[in-house]
Structure 1
Amino acid sequence: MKRIALKIAILAIVASTGPAWAGDSGDAGARNCTWCHGTSAQGYMTAPRLAGQQPQYLENEIRSFHDHTRDNPFSKQFMWGAVAALGPHAAHDLALYFAALPPKPANDGDRALADRGRTIYLQGIPDANIVSCYACHGPNAEGVRNIPRLAGLAYFYLKARLRQWGQGYHATASPMPMVASQLGPDDIEALASYLSFVK
């Protein structure tokens, strides 16, 4: 039942995006996003938090949805249609709007795994030749420019994205597909757990 309700909500967004997003980069575009990402852009299990995200990253991702280079299943099913009529100016304005909202951590990971996840984040896994996440995403997982903020994203979302990169989706997001393919299931669980608690 929940999956049906989610699909109906997404269809409502897609159906309503054309006129509003094509010519209006203001409130109408942001309202369309709230169906899945929440009224304060804090996201849900499968829809990421947009609040506080790096604006350049958001803009790049909107472009990758539009160009169909972000090709994981949820992107194809929901976001490709949602941004089809979204112009570059509207995308830019939406990215700035969401970046300015205060982020909150999801706090939904496994606390027992958070310490191990923090170690992986800060030190990498030398035995597997995996560099630290810190090197690109920053000491507090805040991201920089077109590298996304990971701090506080939902455990379920992070875990799904790491698995998808490991499976070869969104291959243009170098070096993530290569890095994620080296992570074992336990590493992914630990990382996703830790990042969900980062403020």
Structure 2
Amino acid sequence: MKQSNLWLALFLFALFAPSGPVRAGDNDEVRNCTWCHGTSGQGYMVAPRLAGQRPQYIESQIRDFHDHIRDAPFSKQYMWGATAALQPDRARALAQYFATIEPKPANDGNRASAARGRTVYMEGIPEANIVACYACHGPNAEGVRDIPRLGGLSYAYLRSRLEQWGQGYHSTPGSPMPVVASQLGPEEIEALASYLSFVR
């Protein structure tokens, strides 16, 4: 099957998947998510890990995809269509389901950059007026309420998101991330993404 046809099939499935309650172990109900986000929601390539993510965050992101607020290229290409027919109760159920799965760290960053990344995460960059990341995301990058868990997300995904915010793509309304990311240089982005990929 050609790649374009495969993606079309995936999105047709996503659009017309059953809308009943999500149950742990009911793979048919979550398959439209795990096609891209990996077995048990652990993430795959540029699709982030959903396992162990804050349920409020997942739910808010689904809403932002549905409302076309998140406008990065992959958001437009894949998630806008995947969430088009997703009702709020279904989004909430999916968010709660993935939040219960034990997350596994990606461990795919550059270990040589991780120490610098931890410093930026814990101390910020005072000379650039960038506050420490842990102030919002927690000392173990565990997140709180609708602020996402960052610990253990894949290096490629984290780097891509920071770069996209810096380029002006949108995030959740009121999020400080586009402003923060626009002040990060390539080395800081590399270091942060590397460090966070190893956090459990």
Secondary structure, aligned partner of 2:39? coil
TM-score (norm 1): 0.93
Q: Does 1:197 align with 2:198?
A: yes
Q: C-alpha separation between the residues in 2 aligned to 1:55 and 1:72?
A: 22
Whichever residue aligns with residue 85 of structure 2, its letter is A
- Alpha-carbon contact 1:106-1:154 (below 8 Å) kept: yes
Unaligned runs of 5+ in 2: none
Deviates more, 1:178-187 or 1:33-42: 33-42
Q: Does 1:17 align with 2:14?
A: yes
Whichever residue aligns with residue 20 of structure 2, its letter is D
Q: C-alpha separation between the residues in 2 aligned to 1:9 and 1:150?
A: 30
- Alpha-carbon contact 2:138-2:144 (below 8 Å) kept: yes
Q: Which runs of 4+ in 1 moved over 6 A?
A: none
- 1:69-89 C-alpha deviation (Å, 9 max, x unpaired): 011110000000011110000
The match for 1:67 is: 67
Q: C-alpha separation between the residues in 2 aligned to 1:158 and 1:8?
A: 28
Identity %: 68
- 1:107-133 C-alpha deviation (Å, 9 max, x unpaired): 000000000000000000001110000
TM-score (norm 2): 0.93
Unaligned runs of 5+ in 1: none
Q: C-alpha separation between the residues in 2 aligned to 1:29 and 1:149?
A: 24
- Over aligned residue pairs, what C-alpha RMSD do you find? 1.5
Compared CA separation, residues 13 and 173, structure 1 to 2 (3 A): farther
Deviates more, 1:147-156 or 1:172-181: 172-181
Deviates more, 1:23-32 or 1:57-66: 23-32
Secondary structure, aligned partner of 1:142? coil
- 1:28-69 C-alpha deviation (Å, 9 max, x unpaired): 441111110012111112100000000000000000000000
The match for 2:152 is: 152
Whichever residue aligns with residue 180 of structure 2, its letter is V
